[in-house]
Amino acid sequence: MTNDQLMREAIRLSRENIANGGGPFGAVIARDGEIIATGVNRVTAENDPTAHAEVSAIRRAAQVLGTFNLSGCEIFTSCEPCPMCLGAIYWAHIDKVYYANTKDDAKAIGFDDSFIYDELALPRDGRKLPAEAMMRNEAIKAFEEWAAKEDKTEY
């Protein structure tokens, strides 16, 4: 499939998902022009705040391919990814992102994630969501064990 066909599929999924009780977002993960997995936004339908189209497509692609590393794949998404989805795309090692609607388009219909970008730029003690570090002396042991582990799978 061409890039245009793959994006049209992401857009079609986004529109179909509205009729199925979900949000207006769709995503396609492809490798060499072949669809590996798709995803749609099911946040309200499944009561799962992480059920964004991109995250759902990444989860399916990882299962299909049997790996957490999606190098060699590209993602086509009906809207510019939010911070959570962008983070997931980076963690999945996807080669390239193609998007249709922009984050400003999403903001215009009530999907505004700019506050997250704003919060991340603030020092921890200046953020709206209180966060308190605790028990680091105990928790650091797991990191020390991981660092010393010789047969770990890096990601």
- φ/ψ of 40, rounded to 5, equals -135, 165
Q: What percent of the chain has pLDDT over 70?
A: 100
As a dihedral over the C-alpha atoms of residue 47, residue 50, residue 54, residue 55, rounded to 10 degrees, the angle is -120
Confidence (pLDDT) at 121: 93
Mean pLDDT to the nearest integer, 144-152: 94
Query: At 155, is the pLDDT very low, low, confident or very high (cuts 50, 70, 90)?
Result: confident
pTM > 0.85: yes or no? yes
Query: At 154, is the pLDDT very low, low, confident or very high (cuts 50, 70, 90)?
Result: confident
pLDDT, tens digit, for every residue of 61-114?
A: 999 999 999 999 999 999 999 999 999 999 999 999 999 999 999 999 999 999
Axis crossing angle, helix 53-65 with helix 3-19, rounded to the nearest 10: 120
- Residue 54 designated active-site: yes
Q: Which of 9, 46, 54, 119 is catalytic?
A: 54
Strand partners, 5: none
